[in-house]
Amino acid sequence: MPEANKNFKLRSNFEPGSFREAVRRAQWKALGISDEDMQKPKIAVVNTSSELAICFAHLDGVAKVVKDAVRAAGGLPFEIRTAAPSDFIIGRGGAGGGGGYILPSRDLVVNDIEIAVEGAQLDGMVCLSSCDKTPPAHMMAAGRFNIPTILVVCGYQPSGEVDGHHVDIEEVFFGSVQASFGKLSQEQLRLMSDNAIKGPGVCSGMATANSMHVVCEAIGMALPGSAPVAANSPAMFRFAKAAGARIVDMVLEDLKPRQVMTKGAFHNAVAAVLGVSGSINCIKHLQAIAVESGLDLDVFQMFNDLGGKIPVLSAVRPNGEESIENFEAAGGCRALMKQLEPLLDTKALTCTGKTVGENLAGVTVKNPEVIRPVSRAFSTEAPITILRGSLAPESAICKLGLRGPGRISKFDGPAIVFDNGPDAIAAVQRGEVKRGQVLVVRGMGPKGGPGMAGPASMVVFAVDSAGLQNQIAFVSDGQLSGLCNKGLTVAEVSPESAVGGPLALVETGDRIVIDVDRRQLDLDVPEAELATRRQKLGPPKLKPAPGWLGIYQRSVQPMSTGAVLVEK
């Protein structure tokens, strides 16, 4: 473990008598901060507490525990607030309904943190990571500022029951689409909504939030054993307290994120996502973290390179019927990494100051049926595959998860094309989408949405509700919810249609060929015909967007960067 550098100077300790020191002293004296405290490591406690969403409702209590621990360890904590992006409050529906704000909120959080932490020249950060976009935002900020940082995983929510059957937010999400198809009564849907969530925390399946919580630990930025964890549980508070103590040592050791988030750490994070068949959204988030950390990594290619080597060792909902509670009880991410140990970079450094190998020494898997050994994997086929081809020159993502009976990996059929999700859903309801077709929905990428707005997952659920799950294929430049794991779906096609990607040229009736095993997504139309269509369409024209969405639309970089706002 690195030792404290006695000659290390805190960047927050300005020259005595200087302008910055004098005016800051006046401010802080008025806040009751003593001369002694002003010399201590100054730690940002990044809090996204919000009364808008249950995902963040408990974070004030977590922040208090962390601040008390920082003080006890000899640091001076400063709680700072950022936006609190919850997918189910601001992230569903079209741009007019707020859906466009969810991915752009990730980058807003990064810049919000920068204003406080870099502006005040604080020495370290403890980030309280909860719903989907906060874990990547916190690691992006850590990589950008490169000051000692540790993430606290703030836990998953308890789910409920209806008539003796388990119900969680996944069933409510899917059920809302089923109700529109007459497959579920409004009364039953309301009952499910009233009972799905029984306390604070993130969605209880292996969707984007819990997948990213696993990433936080696997990449070395959260304490070993802390992901996943039940929100407001004794274990969560124990890790929060430990993180508050550890950050002070990290500052004194000058242990920075770019020493932790190395190529080997990203290898481990990708392996963990594949090992749990996690959310496809982890791909763009990891790519964005790499860019912000100054790493020249192609995370998309890493998923393909490791996809044939890393087996799926757990089957937590929506991949299987196992619960997140059982995954935690079996040992969580730490147990998963123990099972994957021969396939990991065990020399990668972590926030503990120790390597992955040192952290895994003596670890045992408490339930090898929930987190299986490599020799008894649930699947050895890649759950997530990056496709490329004439329809996706840069990339597209297909998640097949655990490939059970009837799960198709190849498709060849005529396209039926829509420029937005609601029109596609209406067409499915009217029976216009037929067996053997490839349902194409475009205009939902980072610039086209803008912000990847639009109910891409709801289109997939509509297809399932219509009984077409394994009868058609779905292709879109939109993103999918981490809860979406149905049929042959291809998302995040890049370049997106709004910037003139090939998806913009597809017409109803065009032949599309998908071959997951060969990693191909092709549009079978002669280039001469595509050139004629391109000339007819003219230069791409983005639909106008207001406020922050307009700023995001003008600034966001391609998906190959993870859709960051900084040039790669």
**255 within 8 A of 2, measured Cβ to Cβ:** yes
Residue 95 — pLDDT band, cuts 50, 70, 90? very low
Judge: domain 41-158+199-360, CATH 3.40.50.620: no
Which two structure tokens, joined as six digits, stand for 475? 């292709």
pLDDT at 155: 98
| DSSP-derived 3-state class of residue 161 | strand
| Averaged pLDDT, 106-124 | 98
| Averaged pLDDT, 148-165 | 97
For residue range 126-146, list pLDDT tens digits in order. 999 999 999 999 999 999 999
**271 within 8 A of 306, measured Cβ to Cβ:** yes
Distance CA(42)–CA(25), nearest Å, equals 14
For residue range 475-485, list pLDDT tens digits in order. 999 998 877 77
* Superfamily of segment(s) 384-561: IlvD/EDD C-terminal domain-like (3.50.30.80)
pLDDT at 141: 98
Residue 567 — pLDDT band, cuts 50, 70, 90? confident
| Averaged pLDDT, 86-92 | 78
Is-catalytic flag, 481? yes
Task: Provide, rounded to the nearest whole percent, the portion of the chain with pLDDT above 70.
Answer: 97
| pLDDT above 70 (res 387) | yes
Q: What single-letter amino acid sits at 3?
A: E
What DSSP letter does each residue of 191-209 carry, written as one string?
Answer: HHHHHSB-SSSB-SSSSHH
pLDDT at 236: 98
| Averaged pLDDT, 252-263 | 98
Burial class (CB in 10 A: 0-12, 13-18, 19+), 361: exposed
pLDDT at 227: 98
Mean pLDDT, the chain, rounded, equals 94
Q: What does the domain layout of the chain look like in residue ranges?
A: 41-158+199-360, 168-197, 384-561
**474 within 8 A of 501, measured Cβ to Cβ:** no
For residue range 31-64, list pLDDT tens digits in order. 999 999 999 999 999 999 999 999 999 999 999 9
Q: Which of 50, 226, 457, 481 is catalytic?
A: 481
| Averaged pLDDT, 83-110 | 78
CA 418 to chain centre: 27
Sheet of strand 124-129: strand arrangement: 76-81, 42-47, 124-129, 149-153
CA 280 to chain centre: 8
Burial class (CB in 10 A: 0-12, 13-18, 19+), 7: exposed
Burial class (CB in 10 A: 0-12, 13-18, 19+), 298: middle
pLDDT at 407: 82
